[in-house]
Structure 1
Amino acid sequence: MKKNRLILYLTTLCISMSCSVSDFEDNYTDPSKLDRTNVGKQFTGMIYSNREYVLPSYWDYYVVRRITSNRYSQAVGWINNENQYIPGSAAVGDRWNAYYNFLAQFRELEKVYDELPELDKPRNRIFIIAGSTYFYDQTQQVVDFHGDIPWSEAGMLSSNSGDYTKSYAGYDKATAIYTKMLDDLAGFADEIHGMELSADVQSIFDTQDLINRGDLDLWKKYINSLRLRILTRVSATSEFGTRAKAEINAILSDPVKYPIVTENADNVLFRIHSLGTLLESNQFQRGLEDDNGNLAGKKIIDHMLANQDPRLSYVFEPGLESDGTYLGLDPMMNPNQQNELVLTQTLAIYNRSTISRNQFFPGLVFTAPEVHLLAAEYYLKENQDAMAKQHYEEAIKKSIEFYVYLRSISNNSLAPAPVAPTLASINNYLAMDEVAWDGAADKLALISYQKWLHFNVVQPNENWHEIRRLKKMALDFWVDNNNQQSLPPSRWMYPGSEQTYNVENYSKVQSEDKLNNKLFWDVN
């Protein structure tokens, strides 16, 4: 048993995953059940191995997000309880193990690519560029939970010929990981700009690419949008501030060379093309709804009501016994009062037909509203108010459009038909006191609130990361006076497996392994 747990900890049991996909509308062959691989199939296997942390899954939503980012961002309402601000060991440990299994699959992709004949590497280069981009996207999320993580030396059991003694990984500094990702992504952006694939490689890429279906233009937009997110995350730090400003300017100033996701048609998504396929989101219902995990928080409901937000009836539905009134759960109520209110079934919930029971709900990787809000923040800081306003308002319009799209693809009609937004209702929203750009005392706060409204529970991890970074959300939390961790943490601690199996390397970071130690980019 200990040996098995050690292998799981190292997450270097590299199953050579491969898959044969004739078309996205057909059922897939499970790549974990095939024993031979090549670059294209390993690329698919790597993406597939991480599917449950992009497509809404029961485990990720119920075990992980329900008690962490959903609550820390107050995207949901919940009944207060002791120890609620300490991320659970199951949530932390399983998310950690899932990432390192994914990392091991990426290392296997690198290994398979490195073993190609030299003449074949340029033809297959797209699989490394695309695979690395997706890997870095997922890596940023994990770094932003913990800070320093084992990385450059991790996932090497296969490369080390099964020698465990060489496969315990040291911790890389978070700043070093960010530097490596930014350096590589900048190179990828230049390299892919003029790339053309041979007909046979394009055919393989079309089939094996579960993200953008072989569309090079979408990969270009994904790469540069991810650069924009990473650069913005570190833009206030002394280590990256100058670089972030220069590179964001370069990206936004040259949309031909550095295109980004600006339209919902270009959103980077895991799309569900037919039910019963390998990639599906039929676990969202239990993951979000079990144990009242889909209750609306008071602040988000109040904000949407006060400003007549056109997204309200797409994102939420009134409680069963509320007579059509939207009511959110107040986090400052004592637990007994909260529980009594929950039992009345008058609290609003996340719209089941748009979100949790929508079996065509996609896996969200990048959407246009986020990109426009990142651009708005940059232009605001550069004192280009007109450009900032343009991107800010475009983000809102794209967000409304996105939630209308989500409802339009749903195969569930349990919730009443939403109130369709009109041009007048959108313009009215843009003119509301808490939304209007012109005359706002704190425009960065406006951007922060729109990120919060757009991300809500559909991208809760990004929500929590940006809330910590910007410090513009006035969120009040019940204080847990019976626990040393009385308020939401600044980071997650490392899983217990690190102390058990990676003793020597963990000892070097143990003194920093505290819930209230801020990440390097958390400087506001």
Structure 2
Amino acid sequence: MKMIKFNWRSLLILLATGATISCSEADFEDNYYDPEKSVDATMEKLFTGFMYNQSMENRNTSFPRYWNLTTYQIPMMGTYSQTNGYLNNTSIYEQATAYNQDRWDYYYTAFMASFRELENQYEAIEDEEEKAQAKLFIETAKIHLYEQTSQMVDTWGDIPFSQAGGLIATGGDIVKPKYDKAEEIYSSMIDDLKVISDYLNDYQPIGFYKAIFDNADILNQGDVQKWKIYANSLRLRLAMRISYYDEAKAQQIVAEILDNPSVYPVVNNVSETVQFVARGTELNSVLNHHGGGIKDATIGLPAPGYMVNDLMVPSMDPRLRAMFAENKYGDYVGVPNDWTLARQQDSLQVNYFSRIDSATYSRNDKFPGIIITAAEISLFKAEAAERWGLGGDAALAYENGIRQSIDFLFYINSLNDNADNTSFTPETAPTAAEIEQFLASELIAYTGSSQDKLAKIGTQQWLNHGLMYAYHAWSELRRTGYPALNFIEDESSFQSSLPPTRLLYPETERTLNAENYSEVASEDKVDVKIFWDVN
């Protein structure tokens, strides 16, 4: 064994007993790859570190971490999508260029560099059996890389991809990567996810090697079926993302997936949610993290106006009590974005506005790192059924998606273990009668024209992503145009008087990758749309 290393004692005991291997706290500490400290980068360490870079954990984009939330996702994506409350200060829609730089750097440092080194280690394996088994690390890592890459494309458009990580790949020579076209990146990811899924269907594990993968896999604990679900659910998401740009291709992909559930399984229920479960000192969400993790990023955050005042309160949405706290009058009130700043500030000071629920979110040490939910997939099925007649009954899928969104939110609420001294009592889950009344309300009921129904699907997709997944809420808002939100124009802004349709490239691209940047400079504007945004 040259590249895959393991703990002989633990492995032999587990194989002898037939026990399922899971990652303990000690395993995490052994497997996290810190490129600044480690000179022994093995496949399993690189794989674990690829998914969770310990030295940069505060900027992690899969877990609810302070830096990513409070400097990037909430003030920008959350404002552009109105998934959190915000005040009408000057330059409301300005981009925080330094924090854009952080997000950009995290992708290329934590994900792309680790993946390239993982590829290097794989290619260096000489033993054929070992290499065949080590391929599982590469193929599953690609799935997660593509999920993160899609976020980059959805945010900036064209990005360096095929040549990115060249410094690692060439062993020291500096490679200034070209920009790949956004639509070409999407196409290659969609196609390769099918190849990966087919590979996983045919994969035949050898226990000796599989145990090493199980121990390194902090996402799915070695469950290959869950990796299949991740790959196909992501492929479905990407196909729907391009569905107004290339409807024929999207329809073909969606039909292939939904018509062959045994071959291409997707997330069908809450238990199959693609997520990093918060466990141990590394993967929890509040304690042991710089800035208190999710806590300092979200505690006291006011509720968004349209979501609460125009949608959830009128429809008596049961998710309200798990998402937000009542104001001092016992009501749920979000921050209207058309009030003056002075009025907003006065009302905030006297606790007129609701705040994000601390037990579910900001003080929940077990809040998971969520990637794809059952509700998202069900709502995509509803959209596919409504637009193309695919995947079964649209109304059933729509209502199923809402029910799954409710179930999962109350499940997250129940996870709070009072680790942060919350004096927490779980919220009472809604009764069947309460849910039925909610689904029958005028704003929610699956009635009206086909366009009305698509608006309701799109609105529920946006709400389901909500505060913690504003990346996707902003993308879905741009893709579908739903919900129909109103934004006040900010005349004080030098950059953008209304929410941008993309982020500007970071300054380092202009200075350190100038030749390649010049090829995309003309498109580096706040009002240039991502290729799939054709509304």
Given the two structures, how large is their TM-score scaled by the length of structure 1? 0.91
2:140 maps to amino acid: A
The answer to whether residue 282 in structure 2 is matched with residue 277 in structure 1 is: yes
What percentage of residue pairs aligned between the two structures are identical? 34
**CA–CA distance in 1 between the matches of 2:124 and 2:392?**
52
**How much has 1:334 moved relative to structure 2?**
1.1
**CA–CA distance in 1 between the matches of 2:325 and 2:201?**
44
Residue pairs, 1:29-428, within 5 angstroms: 29=29, 30-32=32-34, 33-49=37-53, 52-101=60-109, 102-117=111-126, 119=128, 120-164=130-174, 167-237=175-245, 240-274=246-280, 276-277=281-282, 280-282=285-287, 283-289=293-299, 292=300, 294-302=301-309, 303-319=311-327, 322-383=328-389, 387-412=393-418, 413-414=422-423, 417-428=426-437
- Pairing partner for 1:517 from 528, 531, 534: 528
**CA–CA distance in 1 between the matches of 2:147 and 2:297?**
23
**How much has 1:31 moved relative to structure 2?**
2.4
**How much has 1:279 moved relative to structure 2?**
5.3
**CA–CA distance in 1 between the matches of 2:214 and 2:158?**
36
Contact 2:63 2:370 in 1 (8 A): yes
Q: Which runs of 4+ in 1 moved over 6 A?
A: 16-22
Report the counterpart of residue 486 of structure 1 in structure 2.
497
Contact 1:17 1:37 in 2 (8 A): no
Q: How many residues align structurally?
A: 499
Report the counterpart of residue 516 of structure 2 in structure 1.
505
Contact 2:504 2:526 in 1 (8 A): yes
After superposition, the Cα gap between the structure-2 partners of 1:18 and 1:432, relative to the gap in structure 1 and judged at 3 Å, is farther
**CA–CA distance in 2 between the matches of 1:45 and 1:326?**
41
Q: Secondary structure at the match of 1:94?
A: helix
Q: Deviations over 1:210-266 (max 9, x none)?
A: 1111001101110000000000000111xx322211111010011100000011111
**How much has 1:278 moved relative to structure 2?**
5.2
- Pairing partner for 2:507 from 457, 477, 496: 496
**CA–CA distance in 1 between the matches of 2:4 and 2:305?**
45
Gaps of 5+ in 2: 11-20, 288-292
**CA–CA distance in 2 between the matches of 1:219 and 1:337?**
49
**How much has 1:478 moved relative to structure 2?**
2.0
**CA–CA distance in 2 between the matches of 1:232 and 1:361?**
27
Given the two structures, how large is their TM-score scaled by the length of structure 2? 0.90
1:185 maps to amino acid: L
**How much has 1:23 moved relative to structure 2?**
4.7
**CA–CA distance in 2 between the matches of 1:307 and 1:260?**
30
2:436 maps to amino acid: N
**CA–CA distance in 1 between the matches of 2:217 and 2:47?**
8
The answer to whether residue 439 in structure 2 is matched with residue 430 in structure 1 is: yes
1:24 maps to amino acid: C
Contact 1:85 1:486 in 2 (8 A): yes
**CA–CA distance in 2 between the matches of 1:414 and 1:73?**
32
Q: Secondary structure at the match of 2:52?
A: helix
Contact 1:63 1:90 in 2 (8 A): no
Q: Deviations over 1:188-229 (max 9, x none)?
A: 111111322110122111110011110011011100000000
